[in-house]
């Protein structure tokens, strides 16, 4: 039996009459790259906010990094990393100042901060840029840096909300190499994306439609099940039945 | 849960220091405004040119004209003919003309003995600028009255601002506006910017308490405002010569309460506004306009229409400006501004409580 990093059952979020997330259940294994797909408005973001301890579930149960999603949101926040679709570093601070800020937020000791900073900057070949303002870096570099900073405090799970939006294919490829490296070190990666080729990189993929998880399996199994040769085909077949407008 | 607030304060300070243009504006604006209002925009009447019409230049007439000519507020243009009055006024050569009657000397003498006489002096004033016209004509009357009658019936004494310098009156008003601008506008814009750019989300996913994020945003702006306060008080004392005899401690204390209130208002605005532009608009238009109109800064509250007068009670600047007038200009101790202080404290608690509640609700 594989160890789970995320395990949720019947998780639901209602806003008044509107059920944004409708009784979703799934497990994510430790060290796995888990793709979380869905059309706009399918409830992806709401589901992810619940998993990050940002939003309180209306009903259901589950654990993230071993902590209860209903009661231990604050503990969850300390054991996860997060990178949002919109850029999440400060443009008017230098690379090092950004690192120090997030190190401070997660209570890293000065010694550990320095060690981690050198470690991740040399991995990115960024050591020479550490006193450059983040705003002056190209978008692709920024996003690689944002990912590295999201894993600065060695979280058990890192949540990536459309991390590669607006980046060229080569940089996206490099970004995914970073994700693989991180997963090889044992970090669980939970990623949402709109790019179906990226879905192929994931170990397993779930597809949300109208607040429900409609499919969950490895990309290969999904393609077999829906008798198509691409994830694009799988996604379109499943999302065709969506009732919610974008 | 003991994440230190220091990294956040350092971050906010860096944001402010990196934005040199804004910082410069924030620090220079009070000085520029004070000096502008203090010296350039003056409601005092200076250098009013006056001409005289006198059919007979008798001793009495010459003496009266000399008095006007020697007064520092007036410049004597010269004697003109009766038919030239309209011309010189129209051309803007003079602002006022003093017309002496044919029998000026005799009329003055008879008036002094208690006889009823026709007015021996006529003052013709260009009233296109009502402010100057009013002040100048009253002032001219006073000067000429001194020559006409041996003794005036009235003795007016101006307290607190004996030289009637208009700068005095503006200083508290400017303080009220500037602190609101710096604190409320800058905090709200800075919080909303993080929402807009997306960094707020990352901060909220982190284990840091939202209250700490907000507190860390307010502290650097509070420090900047304290520097501004020091600049304003120094200029007031040493450039504008405002005595502030009531004690500096009380002035600073009430100002700090007002600063905190402005910061809380900024936080409140940030919970409503979604974009920086919206935050800016709300601070500038929705808050600033009523503040200027209803705070007593420009127009005395007693002169406002009755319907509007109760509304002024809701404007924080009204209470602050009133307290500052008492303490800076009248030189009263802080005890005289207890009502104002109490209202400001109450507003601070109410706004801060409401803003924090709104902010926490929004997180869900």
pLDDT in tens, B29-44: 888 888 887 676 555 6
**Residue B343's pLDDT is what?**
94
pLDDT, mean of residues A155-183: 90
Which residues of chain A have a Cβ shorter than 8 Å from any chain B Cβ? 52-56, 74, 77-78, 80, 82-93, 97, 100-107, 159
* DSSP characters over B28-75: HHHHHHHHIIIIIS--S--SEEEEEE-SS--HHHHHHHHHHHHSTTEE
Percent of chain A at pLDDT exceeding 70: 98
B88 versus B303: the higher-pLDDT residue is B88
Q: Do B204 and A54 touch (CB under 8 A)?
A: yes
- Digit-coded pLDDT (tens) for B305-342: 888 888 888 888 889 998 998 888 888 888 888 999 99
Q: Does the CA dihedral B76-B77-B80-B86 come out positive or negative?
A: negative
Which H helix or E strand runs over A11? Answer: strand A4-15
* Spans of all domains in chain B: 6-41+165-363, 48-148
Rounded Cα–Cα distance for residues B291 and B261 (Å): 14
**Which of A52, A56, A89 lies closest to B205 in CB terms?**
A52
B325-328 own/partner pairs: CB under 8 Å, 24+ apart: B325/B169, B325/B172, B326/B246, B327/B244, B327/B246, B327/B247, B327/B250, B327/B251, B327/B254, B328/B171, B328/B172, B328/B236, B328/B242, B328/B244, B328/B246, B328/B251
Rounded Cα–Cα distance for residues B193 and B269 (Å): 13
Q: Using an 8 Å CB-CB cutoff, list chain B residues near A84.
A: 198, 201-202
**Per-residue confidence at A122, pLDDT binned at 50, 70, 90?**
very high
Q: Which residue of B has its CA nearest to A104?
A: B7
- A37-41, B72-76, B241-245: least confident range: B241-245
**Residue B151: pLDDT above 50?**
no
- The beta strands (E) that lie in chain B are given as 48-53, 74-79, 96-100, 121-125
Rounded Cα–Cα distance for residues B51 and B86 (Å): 12
Question: Which of B278, B10, B202, B14 shows the shortest CA–CA distance to A85?
Answer: B202
Both structure tokens of B300 = 């005395």
Q: Do A102 and B205 touch (CB under 8 A)?
A: no
Q: Do A103 and B7 touch (CB under 8 A)?
A: yes
**Which of A77, A83, A87 lies closest to B207 in CB terms?**
A77
> How far A87 CA lies from chain B's nearest CA (Å)?
6
- Cβ atoms of residues B173 and B297 within 8 Å: yes
- DSSP structure class, residue A42: S
**Which of B10, B19, B198 lies closest to A84 in CB terms?**
B198
Average pLDDT, whole number, for chain A?
A: 89
Both structure tokens of B38 = 């203090």
Which of A104, A110, A146, A153 would you mutate first to test chain B, the one with the most B CBs within 10 A? A104
**Which of A53, A103, A105 lies closest to B208 in CB terms?**
A105
Question: Which of B270, B247, B256 shows the shortest CA–CA distance to B333?
Answer: B247
Q: Using an 8 Å CB-CB cutoff, list chain B residues near A93.
A: 11, 14-15, 18
- Digit-coded pLDDT (tens) for A155-164: 999 999 888 8
- Cβ atoms of residues B47 and B75 within 8 Å: yes
> How far B201 CA lies from chain A's nearest CA (Å)?
8
Residues in CB range of B119: below 8 A, 6 or more apart: B101
**Which of A55, A84, A106 lies closest to B364 in CB terms?**
A55
Q: Do B206 and A102 touch (CB under 8 A)?
A: yes
**Residue A1: pLDDT above 70?**
no
Q: Which residue of B has its CA nearest to A107?
A: B3
**Residue B162's pLDDT is what?**
60
Q: How many CB pairs under 8 A join A and B?
A: 75
Rounded Cα–Cα distance for residues A23 and B238 (Å): 71
> How far B44 CA lies from chain A's nearest CA (Å)?
47
- Cβ atoms of residues A8 and A24 within 8 Å: yes
3-state SS class at B258 = helix
Instruction: Find tokens 């003919």 and name the residue.
Output: B81
pLDDT, mean of residues A10-36: 92
Q: Which residue of B has its CA nearest to A150?
A: B202
For residue A14, count CB atoms less than 10 angstroms from its CB and return exposed for 0-12, middle for 13-18, buried for 19 or more.
middle
Q: Do A97 and B18 touch (CB under 8 A)?
A: no
Beta bridge partners of A33: A189
Which architecture does CATH list for B48-148? 3-Layer(aba) Sandwich (3.40)
Rounded Cα–Cα distance for residues A135 and A122 (Å): 20
Q: Do B7 and A105 touch (CB under 8 A)?
A: yes
- Digit-coded pLDDT (tens) for B164-218: 555 677 788 888 888 887 788 888 888 898 888 888 888 888 888 888 888 888 8
**Which of B1, B18, B199 lies closest to A88 in CB terms?**
B199
Rounded Cα–Cα distance for residues B106 and B103 (Å): 5
Q: Do B15 and A90 touch (CB under 8 A)?
A: yes
Rounded Cα–Cα distance for residues B262 and B185 (Å): 9
Q: Do A84 and B19 touch (CB under 8 A)?
A: no
Rounded Cα–Cα distance for residues B343 and B295 (Å): 14
**Residue B31's pLDDT is what?**
84
Is the whole model's pTM more than 0.80, yes or no? no
pLDDT, mean of residues A162-186: 89
Q: Do A97 and B202 touch (CB under 8 A)?
A: no
Which of A88, A113, A134 would you mutate first to test chain B, the one with the most B CBs within 10 A? A88
Q: Using an 8 Å CB-CB cutoff, list chain A residues near B212.
A: none
**Per-residue confidence at B161, pLDDT binned at 50, 70, 90?**
low
Q: Using an 8 Å CB-CB cutoff, list chain B residues near A85.
A: 198
Could you give phi then psi for residue A152, rounded to 5 degrees?
Answer: -55, -40
Q: Do B202 and A93 touch (CB under 8 A)?
A: no
> How far B198 CA lies from chain A's nearest CA (Å)?
6
Rounded Cα–Cα distance for residues B289 and B286 (Å): 6
ipTM above 0.90, yes or no: no
> What is the distance between the terminal CA atoms of chain B, rounded to a whole angstrom?
20
**Per-residue confidence at B242, pLDDT binned at 50, 70, 90?**
confident
Percent of chain A at pLDDT exceeding 90: 54
Which architecture does CATH list for A4-239? 3-Layer(aba) Sandwich (3.40)
């Amino acid at each position: 039996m594989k160890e789970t990093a995320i395990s949720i059952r019947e998780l639901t979020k209602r806003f008044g009459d509107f059920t944004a997330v409708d009784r979703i259940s799934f497990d994510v294994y430790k060290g796995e790259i888990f793709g979380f797909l869905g059309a706009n408005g399918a409830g992806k973001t709401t589901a992810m906010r619940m998993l990050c301890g940002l939003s309180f579930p209306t009903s259901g149960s589950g654990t993230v990094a071993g902590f209860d999603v209903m009661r231990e949101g604050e503990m969850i926040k300390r054991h996860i990393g997060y990178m949002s679709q919109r850029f999440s570093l400060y443009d008017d601070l230098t690379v090092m100042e950004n690192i120090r800020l997030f190190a401070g937020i997660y209570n890293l000791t000065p010694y550990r901060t320095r060690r981690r900073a050198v470690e991740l900057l040399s991995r990115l070949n960024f050591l020479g840029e550490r006193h450059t303002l983040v705003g002056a870096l190209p978008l692709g570099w920024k996003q690689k840096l944002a990912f590295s900073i999201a894993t600065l405090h060695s979280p058990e799970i890192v949540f990536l909300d459309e991390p590669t939006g607006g980046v060229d294919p080569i940089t996206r490829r490099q970004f995914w190499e970073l994700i693989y490296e991180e997963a090889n070190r044992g970090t669980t990666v939970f990623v949402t994306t709109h790019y179906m080729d990226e879905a192929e990189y994931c170990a397993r993929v779930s597809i949300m439609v109208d607040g429900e998880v409609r499919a969950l399996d490895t990309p290969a199994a999904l393609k077999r099940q829906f008798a198509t040769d691409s994830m694009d085909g799988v996604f379109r077949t499943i999302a065709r039945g969506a009732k919610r407008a974008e | 849960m003991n994440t230190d607030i220091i990294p956040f304060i350092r971050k906010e300070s860096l944001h402010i220091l990196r934005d040199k243009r804004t910082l410069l504006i924030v620090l220079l604006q009070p000085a520029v405004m004070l000096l502008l209002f203090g010296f350039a925009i003056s409601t005092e009447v200076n250098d009013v040119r006056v001409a005289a019409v006198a059919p007979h230049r008798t001793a009495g007439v010459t003496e009266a004209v000399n008095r006007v000519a020697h007064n520092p507020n007036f410049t004597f243009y010269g004697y003109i003919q009766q038919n030239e009055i309209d011309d010189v006024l129209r051309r803007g050569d003079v602002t006022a003309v003093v017309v002496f009657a044919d029998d000026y000397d005799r009329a003055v003498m008879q008036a002094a003995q208690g006889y009823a006489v026709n007015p021996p002096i006529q003052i013709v004033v260009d009233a296109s600028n009502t402010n100057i016209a009013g002040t100048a004509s009253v002032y001219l009357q006073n000067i000429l009255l001194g020559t006409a009658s041996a003794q005036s019936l009235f003795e007016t004494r101006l307290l607190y601002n004996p030289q009637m310098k208009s700068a005095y009156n503006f200083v508290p008003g400017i303080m009220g506006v500037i602190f609101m601008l710096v604190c409320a506008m800058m905090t709200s814009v800075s919080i909303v910017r993080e929402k807009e750019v997306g960094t707020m989300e990352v901060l909220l996913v982190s284990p840091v308490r939202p209250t700490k994020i907000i507190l860390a945003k307010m502290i650097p702006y509070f420090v900047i405002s304290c520097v501004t306060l020091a600049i304003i008080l120094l200029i007031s004392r040493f450039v504008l010569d405002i005595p502030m005899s009531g004690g500096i401690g009380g002035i600073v204390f009430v100002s700090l309460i007002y600063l905190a209130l402005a910061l809380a208002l900024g936080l409140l605005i940030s919970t409503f506004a979604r974009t920086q532009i919206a935050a800016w608009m709300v601070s500038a238009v929705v808050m600033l306009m009523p503040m200027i109109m209803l705070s007593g800064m420009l127009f005395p509250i007693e002169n406002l229409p009755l319907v509007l007068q109760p509304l002024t009670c809701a404007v924080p600047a009204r209470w602050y400006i009133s307290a500052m007038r008492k303490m800076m200009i009248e030189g009263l101790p802080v005890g005289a501004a207890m009502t104002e202080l109490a209202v400001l404290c109450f507003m601070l608690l109410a706004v801060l409580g409401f803003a924090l509640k709104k902010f926490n609700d929004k997180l869900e």
